[in-house]
Amino acid sequence: MKKFRGTFTVMVTPFTDDSLEINYEVLGKFVDWQIKEGIHGLIALGSTGEFLSLNEEERYNVSKAVVERASGRVPVLIGTGAENTWDVIKYSRDAESLGADGVMIIPPFYSTPTETELFNHFKKVADSISIPIMVYNNPATANVDITPKIVKVLSEIENISYIKESTMDVTRVRDIIRLCEDKMIVFGGIMGYESFMNGAEGWVSVGSNIMPLEFAKLFNVNVIEKDIDESRKIYRYILPIIELVGQHRYTPATKAALKLMGLNVGSPRPPRLPSSGSDLIWVKEVVKKFNLKIN
C-alpha cells in the first residue's frame, strides 16, 4: 500500500439547516471540490466532523458516502474513536469493509487510560483490521497524552504506522521520528508548517476545509520541493485561515466560512452554536479578504 503523505482535510460533516439530518448531497459536492483543488487525502469523522454528535448509523453512512464519492482518487481515513474498545473495533471494521484506506483513532477520552490500557486498546483494534491506523494525540480534548515514549511502544504494533501529533509542542515530531525511525510517519495537527520543518510528512488540517489548494501547496513546496523560502511565504499567507479556525472555532467558523463561500454545510449540532458576534465578523472579513468561493 502506498504510504499516506501530504495535507489531509479533517472534514466537516454537512447537516440540513435544522442540523437534524446529514446533507449527503452537499457532502458529495464537498468531497469533489476538495479533490479538484488538489488535497492529498480526506479524513471523515474527526473532531471537526463532530463525530461524537453522530449516532452509529450516521457514522456508517457518512463513512460510506465519503469513501464511495472519493472513489480511490485520494486516500480516505475514517475517525473511529470511541470510549469503548469494542465500539472502536466495530467502527474500524466497518470502515475497512466500506473500502476506507485507514482509520484515525483518538484514545478513550473519559476513562483516562493508563499506558498499559492504551497499549491493550490499540493492540486489540489493530489485531481486528488490516488497514493502517493513525493514532490521534490531542490531550486537550482526550484528557490523555500519548507522549513520544508511548508512541514508540505503540509503533511496535504492526499496522500502527501513523500519528497525528496535535499538541503545540513541535519538538515531539522530532522526538517521535528519532525514537520510532521508519515505523511511524508523523502528521502535524495544529502546527502543520512547524511540523514539516521538524520532519513530519503530513498535516491533518482544519483550514484546508476552506482553502485546500494553498494548504496542499504548502506540503508540496516544503516537503517535496524543499523550497523553504517559498513555503514560508505560503505559510504566512494562509496563517489568517489557521488562526480563524483555531481554538473553539474549528467547527463553527469553518462551517460559517463554507456557507459564505457558497456551500451550505449547515450549522454545528447542539450544544455547539453557530459562529456569531465578533467571531462571525471575523469569518466574513477573512472570506472577503481572500475572495474565498466554491464554484
In this structure, are residues 197 and 218 in contact, taking their beta carbons and an 8 Å threshold?
no
Question: What SS3 class is residue 248?
Answer: helix
Give ∠ CA 18-34-43 in degrees, rounded to 5: 75
Q: At what angle do helices 252-261 and 277-290 cross, to 10 degrees?
A: 50
Q: Can 164 be counted among the known catalytic residues?
A: yes
Q: Which of 60, 64, 91, 136 is catalytic?
A: 136
Residue type, 205: S
The DSSP call for residue 130 is S
34, HSE (Cβ side, Cα atoms, 13 Å):
32
Q: What are phi and psi of 135, to 5 degrees?
A: -75, 140
Q: Which of 60, 64, 91, 164 is catalytic?
A: 164
Q: How far is Cα of residue 188 from the mean position of the Cα atoms in its chain? A: 10
Distance CA 132, CA 102 (A): 5
In this structure, are residues 11 and 48 in contact, taking their beta carbons and an 8 Å threshold?
yes
Residues 6+ apart with CB under 8 A from 156: 183
What is the maximum span of the chain, computed from C-alpha positions, in angstroms? 50
- Using alpha carbons, select from 164, 165, 99, 87 the residue that is nearest to residue 130: 99
Distance CA 242, CA 253 (A): 11
Catalytic residues: 136, 164
